[in-house]
Structure 1
């Protein structure tokens, strides 16, 4: 007799999908920042570590690479990106724990299990960062907004929709 896998609810499937997306985005961000860190430590392309290829969207090609304030802005935005992704992943893991029965269903609304705020970006500075960094930051902002909307919908009480039978019973009650 074959044992079938339990069917997932729409919410569980959505959480799993968003979790996978967040992990991929975190891996892409880590990969880009690691690669650019290796490139920044090399004094010239010839000094790149073995296996690291020239990247047209690297810090070497970035117009702001010699501006200390832009390099600091890039560092700050990378920290904001990491923080945003940590908030998203933590919230999604909490949802998975609730669905697995590891946490009570009511714990989703507790302050400690809520989605953390997305750190604000300086949009004027964002436009001056390397394109790859901009893409990663914007993707994390979109993902955070989607997860925030799901959390908001989850925590918003749903007003009961009266059925035709209840409407008729209310009308009869008002006539008496």
Structure 2
């Protein structure tokens, strides 16, 4: 029981399996965001509504879409790293997740339908998860061998044995 507590306290390392699972989740969320904020089906709805409601829909749509595009870009950088297309140095330098991503405006989101508010909240929670992963990964000792280096070392040992 003592070992499982120690393991639970350690931050998760980023590995290809985690990145692939998060990438799949991000694509589903991004598709839901696209469907929710597509104006083609909402123009008639918003036409009779107040200008404030149209502005809220546009603003939250832009914020939410931007949040998901940043998340997907971060995940794509990590996928490129794990496939050997980026070095750890390049990933650390250019694969940074923005900590300044704007949150939903409570005044505007209160105007939106509950389904859209839930979706916006889901994208914020998803982005927060990525921020925690990014922070923990960046706090890891950069001199320590990466997951790719460990994998290569294991493969080389098996090949030479």
TM-score w.r.t. the length of structure 1 is: 0.66
1:9-60 CA distances to partner (integer Å, 9 max, x unpaired)? 96211111111011001111112223x632434xxxxxxxxxxxxxxxxx47
Taking the aligned partners of 1:80 and 1:149, their CA distance within structure 2 comes to 20
Question: Match for 1:143 among 102, 109, 126?
Answer: 126
Change (3 A) 1:39 1:145: closer
Measured on the aligned residues, the alpha-carbon RMSD in Å equals 2.2
The answer for the alignment partner of 1:127 in structure 2 is: 110
Which of the residues 1, 4, 24 maps onto 1:20? 24
Whole-angstrom CA distance in 2 between matches of 1:70 and 1:109? 40
Q: Secondary structure at the match of 2:112?
A: coil
Counterpart among 78, 84, 97 of residue 115 in structure 1: 97
CA 1:77–1:39 in 2, change beyond 3 Å: closer, same or farther? closer
For each residue in 1:89-111, what CA deviation from the matched residue of structure 2 results, as whole angstroms up to 9, or x when unmatched? 0000000000000000222221x
SS of corresponding position for 2:123: helix
Q: Secondary structure at the match of 1:37?
A: coil
What corresponds to 1:37 in structure 2? 40
Task: Output the CA distance in 2 between the equivalents of 1:107 and 1:99.
Answer: 12
Residues paired across the two proteins, number: 128
The CA deviation string for residues 128-167 of structure 1, in whole angstroms up to 9 with x for no partner, is 2111211111011000000000000000035xxxxxxxxx
1-side partners of 2:119 and 2:51: how far apart? 21
Q: Which runs of 5+ in 1 are unaligned?
A: 1-8, 42-58, 159-176
Q: TM-score, normalised by structure 2?
A: 0.71
Q: Which has the higher helix share?
A: 2
1:54-101 Cα shifts (integer Å, max 9, x gaps):
xxxxx47xxxx6221121011011000010000000000000000000
Name which structure has the greater RCO, CA cutoff 8 Å, separation 6+.
2
- Bigger radius of gyration: 1
Residue of structure 2 aligned with 1:78, choices 39, 61, 73: 61
